[in-house]
Amino acid sequence: MFRGKASKGSVAARDLARDGALASGWLMKQGEGNKAFKKRFSVLRHTASFSYYKGDGDTLPLKSVDASNYVAVLSHNAESKSGASSRKAPSTTVA
């Protein structure tokens, strides 16, 4: 697959992320053949489409996945080891 340059009417990944995406940001992806980790910009849309790009300015994704059959499970840790209440960011597991 190839990376696309901006053309008339195309939208950069960072702009897709700002315009109503459920989530977006950088992730580390391990390659299939070369097991090295690579930094990729990802966008999860309301249409349950998950796409990742080499950079946030790219207009064509390296890969898109239909995420409609996946469930994200959020868990909150409300107690610290000392028993005091604390606020932590939720962790996410995709099943």
Write the CATH number for 33. Answer: 2.30.29.30
Tally of structural domains, the chain = 1
Provide the whole-model pTM.
0.60
Q: Residue 60 pLDDT more than 80? A: yes
Burial (CB < 10 A; 0-12, 13-18, 19+), residue 91, is exposed
Query: Which residue reads 């053949």 in tokens?
Result: 33
- The residue assigned the tokens 């909150």 is 76
Confidence of residue 14 (pLDDT cuts 50, 70, 90): confident
Residue 8 domain-assigned (yes or no):
no
Asked whether residue 23 is assigned to any structural domain, the reply reads yes
- Would you say residue 85 lies in a domain? no
Task: Decide: helix, strand or coil at residue 25.
Answer: strand
pLDDT at 82 over 80: no
In a domain, 83, yes or no: no
| Range(s) of the domain holding residue 31 | 13-68
Per-residue pLDDT, 10 = 66
